[in-house]
Structure 1
Amino acid sequence: MKNLKAIALALTVVFSTLSVSAQTKKVDVSKSTINWVGKKVTGQHSGTVNIKAGTLIFKGDKLAGGTFTVDMTSLNTTDLSGESQGKLNGHLKSEDFFGTEKFPTATLVFKTVAAKAKNVYAITADLTIKGTKNLVAFDITVKGNTATTTFNVDRTKYDIKYGSGSFFDNLGDKAISDEFELAVALKF
């Protein structure tokens, strides 16, 4: 009889644990932002790129997953204006950089999510840019209906080598950093 009670209790715990189902929350793309910063020897440029679609997955109140599609054709420089802005935007969208005509979107898919501290999660994710997928790691903070993160991406891992001192000699003050920074603020 004790064994039956123990089994019944164990099954109750298992089924109550399983009943915490995943909840998918759609990212509000009109209120979410991605800001980027690219650095070079002589300074830096900054701008934005839009999220096309995204979801975060929760189990109870804990982050459990996420998938995002970024509209690379929306790539925009915000620290310049006029002709200079148009030229840099065009160059960033060209084959030298993101090749947005052939690769209009980039994707990010969470692979692992681990609680790190209250409201902070360590994420590993597959980031696909220009058809090339690499693993990235970053921390994300989730509070209420907002999630924020900042992380660096090594562009050379996605065959974006233009102006890279890692691949070209004698660039002098024309060298561009291999990494660019993304600051992401999601509303859902």
Structure 2
Amino acid sequence: MKKTFATLVTVLALVISGTTLNAQTKKDVKVNDSKIVWKGYKVTGSHEGTINLKSGSLTFKGDALTGGEFVVDMTSLESTDLSGNMKGKLDGHLKSDDFFGVENHPEATLMLTSVKATGKNAYNAKGKLTIKGKTNPVEFTIAIYGSKANATVKVDRSKYDVRYGSGSFFDNLGDKTIYDEFDLVVDLVF
């Protein structure tokens, strides 16, 4: 009887410790301490600005990143390289239906679907990015250092029906062409 009880306790301890080892931990992103910078490019130059994270979390198994999900507040979209009337015009245009249509699409989302370690603190992340109600796959590298993470995500706006000034949709734009790819430089604190 003692041997059976000892075996049962040992098996129970192994099951509990195995469950703990396999447990995933979700860490909320501190949205007020995190930052997303966007950079858009055109034939004659570029513009940049910020956009706020509404919510987000990263999922870990031990110290290893395994997933994440994020919601971006599209209504917070603004330029930082202009001021005055020019800033107001660009910000309004970016929020209009010509670009991101934030009145009808106030949020964008990113759901990480696959994360693989590529080094001590680096991961290759694949996910589903939704902008203007359209979802497409994205792939990028994310680095984790303590309670901080950073990544640069290249987004092809043509896949999200953001057509204004795009050479993919319009001919003969010349120096009015705005390139389809833009960058999101993301710095997260969790």
- TM-score of the aligned structures, taking structure 2 as reference length: 0.91
Q: Counterpart in 2 of 1:41?
A: 43
Q: Counterpart in 2 of 1:66?
A: 68
- Residues 86-105 of structure 1 mapped to structure 2, 5 A cutoff: 86-105=88-107
The SS at the match of 2:118 is strand
- Residues 53-132 of structure 1 mapped to structure 2, 5 A cutoff: 53-132=55-134
C-alpha displacement at 1:15, in angstroms? Answer: 5.7
- State the identity %: 56
CA distances 1:39-61 after superposition (whole Å, capped 9, x unpaired): 00000000000000000111111
Q: Counterpart in 2 of 1:185?
A: 187
Amino acid at match of 2:120: K
Matched, 1:18 2:11: no
Matched, 1:161 2:152: no
CA distances 1:12-32 after superposition (whole Å, capped 9, x unpaired): 777644322111111000000
Amino acid at match of 1:48: T
Partner Cα separation in structure 1 for residue 43 and residue 136 of structure 2: 26
Aligned residues: 181
Q: Counterpart in 2 of 1:3?
A: none
In the superposition, relative to structure 1, how do residues 17 and 77 fare at CA in structure 2: closer, same or farther (>3 Å)? same
C-alpha displacement at 1:167, in angstroms? Answer: 1.3
The SS at the match of 2:149 is strand
Partner Cα separation in structure 2 for residue 79 and residue 94 of structure 1: 19
The SS at the match of 1:100 is coil
Structure 2: tracts of 5 or more residues without a match: 1-9
Considering only aligned residues, what root-mean-square deviation do their CA atoms show, in Å? Answer: 1.7
